[in-house]
Amino acid sequence: MPTIVTREATFLMSHLPKFASLERSQLIRQILAMLVENLYHATLISGIEGIS
């Protein structure tokens, strides 16, 4: 996974509201992880399409 994307996700996750319940922050983490994963795949696919 590209370092920039990972760094952004880590930054976002570390700045989640501290008052959020554990359950809620886990949900937010899962959503973030899915978004990052989708972004990564989209970037990968567009990169491959750009090459061919």
Percent of the chain with pLDDT over 90: 0
Q: What is the per-residue pLDDT across 16-47, written as a single tens digit (0 to 9) for each?
A: 665 556 677 788 888 889 988 888 888 887 77
How does the average pLDDT of the chain come out, rounded? 75
Contact 29, 13 (CB under 8 A): yes
What tokens does 50 get? 């750009």
Nearest to 12 by CA among 29, 24, 37, 34: 29
For the cut 60, the answer to whether the pLDDT of residue 1 exceeds it is: no
What tokens does 25 get? 């922050």
Q: What is the per-residue pLDDT across 3-22, written as a single tens digit (0 to 9) for each?
A: 666 777 777 777 666 555 66
Percent of the chain with pLDDT over 70: 69
